[in-house]
Amino acid sequence: MSEYLILIYGDERAYAATDDAFNLQLMEAHNRFSEQIAEQGGKMVGGNALMPTGTATTVRGDVVTDGPFVETKEALGGYYLIDANDLDQALAIAKLCPAPFGGVEVRPIMSFPEE
């Protein structure tokens, strides 16, 4: 098994404009997704939703600035860390991940040879 990070990107303004019913549905979709990971043969290692980029603070060296590292229309809004057999399985899982206002990026976790 290998670990993959599923990064959820989306338009923050679209998220901000949603109503309660939509948010409830989205929450349910995420709950269902964690079950679907196992159904696909993978394993959820962890995951979180992030507060919007308006709350982000960037630090480069000693300089602290208000805002995200890179300003983009579709910002990182959450992630899942999963365990999968290979990229095909990870992509099959990623296709099920709710991302109503954008999409997801799949990144393999770097592994280091054990001593």
Partner 1 sequence: MTAEADEPADVEAAVADAHRREWGFVLAATVRVAGSVDLAEECVQDAYGAALDTWRRQGVPRSPGAWLTTTARRRALDVLRREQTLRRKLPLLAEPGVTPGADEAMVDQEGEVITDERLRLVFTCCHPALAREAQVALTLRLLCGLTTAEIAAAFLVPEPTMAARVTRAKKKIAAAHIPYRVPGTTELPDRLDAVLTVLHLVFTTGHAAPAGADLVRTDLVARALDLGRVLHALMGDEPEVRGLLALMLLTDSRRDTRVDAAGRLVLLADQDRDRWDQAQVLEGLALVHDLHHSRVGRFGLQAAIAAEHAVSPSYAETRWGRVVALYDALLREWPSPVVELNRAVALAEVAGPEVALAEVDRLTADGRLAGYRYLPATRADLLRRLGRDAEAASSYDEALTLTDNEAERAFLTRRRDDARRR
Binding-site ranges for partner 1 (CB under 8 A): 2, 4, 85-88, 90-91, 106, 108, 110-111, 113-114
For the record, the structure tokens of 103 come out as 């999409």
Q: Which lies closer to partner 1 via its Cβ, residue 4 or residue 9?
A: 4
- C-beta of 111: minimal distance to partner 1 in Å? 7
For partner 1, the closer CB: 66 or 114: 114
Query: Do β-strands 63-66 and 102-108 pair in parallel, antiparallel, or remain unpaired?
Result: unpaired
Taking the complex as a whole, the smallest distance from the CB of residue 86 to partner 1 amounts, in Å, to 4
Place of tokens 């995200």: 68
Q: Where are the beta strands (DSSP E) in 12-52?
A: 43-49
Hey, what are 90's tokens? Answer: 């990870």
Strands (E), 12-91: 43-49, 57-60, 63-66, 74-84
| Token representation of residue 28 | 């349910």
Which of 73/95 has CB closer to partner 1? 95
- Between residues 90 and 104, which has the closer beta carbon with respect to partner 1? 90
Q: How far is the CB of 63 from partner 1 (least distance, A)?
A: 32
